[in-house]
Chains A and B, each alone.
Chain A
Amino acid sequence: MKKRSLIPILYIAFLMLPIYWLVAMSFKTTNEILSGFSLFPQTFTLENYIAIFTDPTWYWGYINSITYVTINTVLSVCVALPAAYAFSRYRFLGDKQLFFWLLTNRMAPAAVFALPFFQLYSSIGLFDTYLAVALAHTLFNVPLAVWILEGFMRGIPKELDETAYVDGYSFPRFFVTIFLPNIKAGVGVAAFFCFMFSWVEMLLAKTLTAVEAKPIAAVMTRTASSAGYELGLLAAAGTLTIIPGAIVIWFVRNYIARGFAMGRV
């Protein structure tokens, strides 16, 4: 038993090393970073974090990112719910083909869509808005949300629907008051994955924004190149982007593994 737990420990240590290094760098002064190697910060400093929290271009980056990620998550889950219900409960003309076509959008390389998205969203006047990024990210999040939710909904017996109708529930009332509470784990998992893929995606988010809705990670690359090579600042900004993800994982920790496992292949 002891020997077996060595593998996860080593694996987690391997995962934590680069993260530790990023966090350690964020507490070092630029001088210390450039003067040579040190495993722990010698002169512990918070100036990198202070620089970020006092500069609007920095902290607006975070607000922008969190705003479009939230819009995207809500939008994706809301449109995916009825569709997943339809796929899990009914057969209809072209259902299999439609389901497969949705999934093909998950396979599309983002690089293929970068330029056409730029032109599309510019032409309808949405360029550099939260909505543009949120809508663009539905391309891969909606198929994923449908896929996950459909898996969870199939696990709910159909008798539940029928009993509710016999009891005189209308469809919307049944869906909201009876069906949704039964699949709330599924909604949580779907929302988690939508949040995750929208939060980490950068190519489209960067292409579709200029100033107003610029995501934090794009602010990072610009600052890194314009202000010479401020590694400490870069590390602090990077560390701060890990926090929202860590909070969200903690909330769904008991469901993450189930998320994909429930989907159909």
Chain B
Amino acid sequence: MRTENQKAWFFVLPVLALVAFNALVPMMTVVNYSVQETFGNNQFFWEGLGWFEQILRSDRFQAALGRQFLFTTLILMIEVPLGIIVALSMPRKGFWVPVCLVLMALPMLIPWNVVGSMWNIFTLPKIGLLGYFLNDVLGINYDMTQQPLSAWITIVVMDVWHWTSLVVLLCYAGLVSIPDAYYQAAKIDGASPWSVFRYIQLPKMKTVLTIAVLLRFMDSFNIYTEPFVLTGGGPGNSTTLLSIDLMKIALGQFDLGPAAAMSLIYFAITLLVSWVFYTLMTKDDAQ
């Protein structure tokens, strides 16, 4: 059991100082900008909640938010089941386990804009392996820079390529912690593979699966670099996700007020949805 000790605060102090410096100061800057209007020369005027209202009502923000939710939903619906399937079919012990783990973890350690460039090279028509295969071998008209649908499929497949392994590794960690005795008992009882999965493996994976879903939600909702490098938000605005739109407003147009208001709305949505996921997925434990 953990004991009550207020002096433990001293242990936490370095972390607190560092994160407070990094999180609170920038957050105050953002809040400060979000309620003011500026015409340059460091002159600011009180704007109240005007920017928030303007952002929330603008078609542009709503469209970007819609695209973001569509992207994140697709990602979760593909990566989580796929990750579970791959984890279930992986060998439990032997020579191939570390080899599999290393190969699977590799995409996660590639810098994000290299991932974007890599997929760009991979999907170029005529030059790239995938682009050549689809266009010249299968005869499918595929060009990511012209067709919104191709661009969407490409960024989704790219993210599946990039991050499914995280779900695999986490589920695998949950699976190897199941003692053999459980499987033997299931075998004696004549349990079907489905009931083994439903009543033995799934409950054991629940904790790690919660982490996987939360991390995949946060990271896919905040995604910026990979689609930016690959499509730049195009063709048109078809793949302009929230972060890309935010960077366009903040650093492209330098509209500090709207950008700051949008940042806060964005952050609030991320927090809210994460909290909902967390509460739903841990509800049974609390009872």
A-B contact count (CB 8 A): 274
CB-based contact A79/B18 at 8 Å = yes
CB-based contact A200/B122 at 8 Å = no
Chain A 75-117 per-residue mask, 1 if CB under 8 angstroms from chain B, else 0: 1000110110111111111010010001011111111111111
A235 within 8 A of B: yes
CB-based contact B107/A115 at 8 Å = no
CB-based contact A249/B102 at 8 Å = yes
Nearest-neighbour CB distance to chain B for A190, whole angstroms, equals 13
Select the residue from A34, A104, A143, A260 with max chain B CB neighbours within 10 A: A260
Looking at chain B's contact residues, is the secondary structure mostly helix, strand, loop, or mixed? Answer: helix
CB-based contact B243/A109 at 8 Å = yes
CB-based contact B101/A257 at 8 Å = yes
CB-based contact B106/A111 at 8 Å = no
A227 within 8 A of B: no
CB-based contact A89/B19 at 8 Å = no
Select the residue from B15, B86, B168, B170 with max chain A CB neighbours within 10 A: B15
Of A4, A92, A146, A242, the contact of B6 (CB 8 Å cutoff): A92
Chain B 59-101 per-residue mask, 1 if CB under 8 angstroms from chain A, else 0: 0000000000000000000000010011001110000001011
Q: Which residues of A contact B107 (CB under 8 A)?
A: 15, 19
B46-54, B128-136, B141-149, B180-188 - interface stretch: B128-136
Q: Which residues of B contact A91 (CB under 8 A)?
A: 2-5
CB-based contact B218/A107 at 8 Å = yes
B16 within 8 A of A: yes
Q: Measured between alpha carbons, how far is A220 from B115 in the docked complex, in Å?
A: 12
CB-based contact A90/B117 at 8 Å = no
Q: Which residues of B contact A87 (CB under 8 A)?
A: 12
Nearest A residue to B6 via CB reads: A92
Q: Measured between alpha carbons, how far is A92 from B9 in the docked complex, in Å?
A: 7
Q: Measured between alpha carbons, how far is A110 from B18 in the docked complex, in Å?
A: 17
Nearest-neighbour CB distance to chain B for A206, whole angstroms, equals 8
For chain B, which range describes its interface: under 10, 10 to 19, 20 to 34, or 35 or more residues? 35 or more
Q: Measured between alpha carbons, how far is A260 from B215 in the docked complex, in Å?
A: 11
CB-based contact A260/B222 at 8 Å = no
B280 within 8 A of A: no
Q: Measured between alpha carbons, how far is A179 from B6 in the docked complex, in Å?
A: 21
Q: Which residues of B contact A107 (CB under 8 A)?
A: 218, 222, 267, 270-271, 274
Of B22, B218, B250, the contact of A136 (CB 8 Å cutoff): B22
Q: Which residues of A contact B172 (CB under 8 A)?
A: 257
Of A33, A135, A203, A265, the contact of B282 (CB 8 Å cutoff): A265
A25 within 8 A of B: yes
Of residues 161 to 202 in B, which have CB atoms within 8 Å of A's CB atoms?
Answer: 161, 164-165, 168-170, 172-174, 176-177
Of A36, A37, A119, A238, the contact of B117 (CB 8 Å cutoff): A238
Of A18, A108, A119, the contact of B23 (CB 8 Å cutoff): A108
Of residues 213 to 227 in B, which have CB atoms within 8 Å of A's CB atoms?
Answer: 214-215, 218, 221-222, 224-225
Contact A108/B109 with A15-B103, A90-B5 known, Cβ cut-off 8 Å? no
Q: Which residues of B contact A36 (CB under 8 A)?
A: 126
Q: Which residues of B contact A215 (CB under 8 A)?
A: 111
Q: Measured between alpha carbons, how far is A143 from B111 in the docked complex, in Å?
A: 21
B152 within 8 A of A: no
B121 within 8 A of A: yes
CB-based contact A7/B89 at 8 Å = yes
B29 within 8 A of A: yes
Nearest B residue to A139 via CB reads: B22
15 additional contacts (CB under 8 A) given A17-B122, A114-B247, A260-B173: A4-B89, A5-B89, A11-B168, A15-B107, A18-B129, A92-B5, A92-B6, A98-B12, A111-B250, A200-B109, A202-B225, A231-B127, A246-B109, A249-B105, A256-B105
Chain B residues in the interface with A (C-beta under 8 A): 1-9, 11-12, 14-16, 18-19, 21-23, 25-27, 29-30, 82, 85-86, 89-91, 98, 100-114, 117-119, 121-122, 126-130, 132, 136, 161, 164-165, 168-170, 172-174, 176-177, 207-208, 210-211, 214-215, 218, 221-222, 224-225, 229, 242-243, 246-247, 250-251, 256, 259, 263, 266-267, 270-271, 274, 278, 282
**15 examples of A-B residue contacts, CB within 8 angstroms:** A11-B164, A85-B11, A89-B5, A107-B270, A108-B270, A109-B222, A135-B22, A139-B19, A202-B112, A203-B224, A221-B113, A241-B111, A253-B98, A256-B101, A258-B173
Q: Which 10 A-B pairs have the closest CB atoms?
A: A245-B109, A116-B26, A261-B173, A86-B11, A90-B8, A257-B173, A109-B222, A86-B8, A82-B11, A111-B243
